[in-house]
Amino acid sequence: MSGVSLTEQVVREPIPERPTGVGVPGTPGLIDASAFSFWYGKKQALYEITMGIQARSITAFIGPSGCGKSTFLRSINRLNELIPGTRHEGKIFLDDADIYARGTDVVALRQRTGMVFQRWNCFPKSIYENVAFGPRINGETDRAKLDEVVEGALRRAALWDEVKDRLRESAIGLSGGQQQRLCIARALANDPEVLLMDEPCSALDPIATQRIEELLVELKRELTIVIVTHNMQQAARVSDRTAFFFMGRLIEIGNTAELFTSPREAQTEAYITGRFG
């Protein structure tokens, strides 16, 4: 961890757009990265990423394969630090608290930042137990309360009507799109402020993809959503802001419409017009 204090870094490289949040100031779910770098062993994967992510909106990460989108996403819930030999410098703030500060409760952090993976990874348990996993490890044992949380999460993930009669059946019997929405429900059961999604639709057919996209637009009213995608149309369709990564660096971040119509950087333009990547 760097010994540099935040003030020095801000002086050296000021955060360009301190996010204001959409709506009420102080909305939970604001993410700020400040000169965040990340290494896998000797290999540096991220170079001084500085960006603000607005609350209650959808931010898309785009960029060619291997440019560090997943690495940055997985730094926001500190999942990457479980890989041996990794290290980072710089800071990431979630609601004004440095998540890498000494003494940070990582378990609490991960409960506040739900994550949905590229390949749906439901547990081979019942639908109910999948959703109840988070609340249970949180110490919730009251059956009625659990029922309520599970139903609420499944409703928010637009899955309730499809599964309400088969909550006790194995999650593995669901279709891919349903399993991915179950994974979303599982994350929502923790009542997170942030939803981190790493290519959540890349293994789904267009109809399942569309359902998830509609769901995201619905969910952004309550959550900060960050979505990594290789699908430029998807980024254009659902996101409010888009960040373009290239070779471990953040090249450009801005309103999605602007970034796609009039990118500031030549590299961004080359990528979105399909000239490389």
The H or E element containing residue 76 is: helix 69-76
Q: Which does 144 bind (CB under 5 to 8 A by kind): ligand ATP, Mg ion, another protein, none?
A: none
Per the structure block, which two tokens stand in for 134?
Answer: 């988070």
Is 70 a binder of ligand ATP (CB under 6 A)? Answer: yes
Q: Which does 115 bind (CB under 5 to 8 A by kind): Mg ion, another protein, ligand ATP, none?
A: another protein
CB 63 to Mg ion: min, Å: 10
CB 261 to another protein: min, Å: 15
Window 167 to 226, contacts with Mg ion (CB under 5 A): none
Is 200 a binder of ligand ATP (CB under 6 A)? Answer: no
Residue 56 burial (10 A CB sphere; 0-12, 13-18, 19+) = buried
Q: In terms of Cα–Cα distance, which of 150, 160, 214, 216 is closest to 186? A: 150
SS3 for 179-203 is HHHHHHHHHHCCCCCEEEEECCCCC
DSSP 135: H
Among 12, 18, 43, 145, binds ligand ATP (CB under 6 A): 43
Residue type, 235: A
* Cβ contact 33:50 at 8 Å: yes
Interface region with another protein, contact rule CB under 8 A, candidates 20-28, 120-128, 154-162, 255-263: 120-128
Is 222 a binder of another protein (CB under 8 A)? Answer: no
Q: ∠ CA(52), CA(219), CA(241), 5° rounding?
A: 30
Contact residues: another protein, CB under 8 A: 77, 79, 82, 84, 107-111, 114-115, 117, 119, 121-126, 128-129, 133-134, 136-138, 168-170, 172-173, 183, 186-187, 190, 201-207, 209, 230-234, 237
